[in-house]
Amino acid sequence: MDIQGLSAIVTGGASGLGEATARRLAKAGAKVTIFDMNSESGTQVAADIKGRFENVDVTSEENVINALETSAAAHGEARILINCAGIAIGEKTVGRENVPHDYARFKKPSKSI
């Protein structure tokens, strides 16, 4: 697939899977914007790949909408979205006893744990 020049957003792109993905997309010619809360690493990775960094908490709808608008203005509307921001929890939705896990975890997946 030719992604040369396409606008891409990678959440969690300051580290780990997201960082590797951001680097790979940039190498393939995409214009990458990283959405992450870690501005130190995010800024560094963005500089390395000649992309952009947006300080975004993906659990904030307002944050995400603002960053999408800024990114679209800079790179064009995103055609690629890779979600790697680690906000989910590692727990079965429904256990063997057919009991769902604590509802509070659905409401606030990362910060309350």
Ligand X SMILES: NC(=O)c1ccc[n+]([C@@H]2O[C@H](COP(=O)([O-])OP(=O)(O)OC[C@H]3O[C@@H](n4cnc5c(N)ncnc54)[C@H](O)[C@@H]3O)[C@@H](O)[C@H]2O)c1
Residue ranges in contact with ligand X by CB under 6 A: 11-12, 14-18, 35-38, 56-59, 84-88
Closer residue to ligand X, CB minimum distance, 7 or 12: 12
Closer residue to ligand X, CB minimum distance, 5 or 16: 16
- The span from the CA of 55 to the CA of 53, in Å, is 7
- The span from the CA of 101 to the CA of 95, in Å, is 7
CB 26 within 8 A of CB 10: no
Closer residue to ligand X, CB minimum distance, 25 or 84: 84
Looking at residue 7, the DSSP 8-state letter turns out to be: E
Question: What tokens does 23 get?
Answer: 């680097």
Closer residue to ligand X, CB minimum distance, 7 or 11: 11
Q: How far is the CB of 9 from ligand X (least distance, A)?
A: 11
Q: Which residue is nearest to ligand X (CB)?
A: 16
CB 31 within 8 A of CB 75: yes
Q: How far is the CB of 40 from ligand X (least distance, A)?
A: 10
Contacts of 77 (CB under 8 A, 6+ apart): 7
Q: How far is the CB of 49 from ligand X (least distance, A)?
A: 15
